[in-house]
Amino acid sequence: MQQIRVPVKYQDLDDGQWKFRIEERPILDPHLILQYLFDDANVKIPAEAVRKYWSHHARHGEKWAQTCDNYNRIPLGIFGDSARVTAQYGKVVQVVGIFMNLVLWRPASVRASRFCLFTIGEDELWSIHTLQAVYRRLTWSLNAAYMGKHPEVGPGGEVVPPKLRAKGGQQLTRDSFLFCCTEIRGDWSWHKKVWRFHRTFWTGVQICHHCRALSAGDWGDIYWNLNDDNNWQNSEFDLDEFCQERLPPHGI
């Protein structure tokens, strides 16, 4: 278990104002989980299954698979969700959780294939800044898994703790496995937390983050118009359009 410093929202009892303070919270770095799974727990994923995964997606037009430099990269998934949890004395709190899984590893119990990386109460989130700090940390760790090596510096270029510093630059796993995050999964609310879609929400007029379908307006733009001549069904955003029309202008 590692620690991360994140801004946490709280109410100042002296003046009643909502403020933030920096706190240390537990987090699991994906690259260290992967090292444990493949070197200590002896998880096995057939190389042929990995190559088949990449070739299948490339054959069906997925650009992220077509541009992959190595079809031996083991695919990873990141997904998030919120849940209501009954805490002490019957208090109900909403908790955000971020998880990782190995896409091609399916043990008998699905629960055993999900690894909780980070959790925090919804009411502790300080605007976008709390999860942004977590995303930066996870990106740093997933980049290390992509390179297949232990990181030599921390997420912000800082010196890592002595125990990790000794491993810096070494192969992440005995068999020199390489990894790649190929899935970011979750419900609409979670994707809103990740991407912060600009003026787009599932209860709004701009209802879709993949295309220009609307919930109100001209009949050709309405999302429940499934006729062949609608304006959105065959006009999904490419990457540039997604960045331009759905990502926020600030704080990406």
Residue pLDDT, tens place only, 53-101: 999 999 998 989 999 889 999 999 999 998 888 877 778 889 999 999 9
Q: Is 110 a residue whose pLDDT tops 70?
A: no
| β-sheet with 74-86: strand ranges across | 115-121, 92-102, 74-86, 179-185
Under the banding of pLDDT at 50, 70 and 90, the label for residue 26 is very high
Contact indicator for 189, 200 with CB cutoff of 8 Å: no
Total length of the chain: 252
Residue pLDDT, tens place only, 3-24: 999 999 999 998 989 999 999 9
- Mean local confidence (pLDDT), 93-120: 89
Residue pLDDT, tens place only, 216-248: 999 999 999 999 989 998 889 988 999 999 999
Residue pLDDT, tens place only, 196-222: 999 999 889 999 999 999 999 999 999
Quote the pLDDT of residue 36: 96
Where are the chain's structural domains? 2-186, 196-252
Residue pLDDT, tens place only, 151-203: 999 998 888 888 888 889 999 999 999 999 999 999 888 898 889 999 999 88
Q: Provide the whole-model pTM.
A: 0.89
- Alpha-carbon span 211 to 241, nearest angstrom: 9
Contact indicator for 27, 134 with CB cutoff of 8 Å: yes
Distances (CA, A) of 32 to 96, 145, 196, 249: 22, 9, 28, 34
Mean model confidence pLDDT for the chain: 92
Quote the pLDDT of residue 85: 83
Quote the pLDDT of residue 123: 92
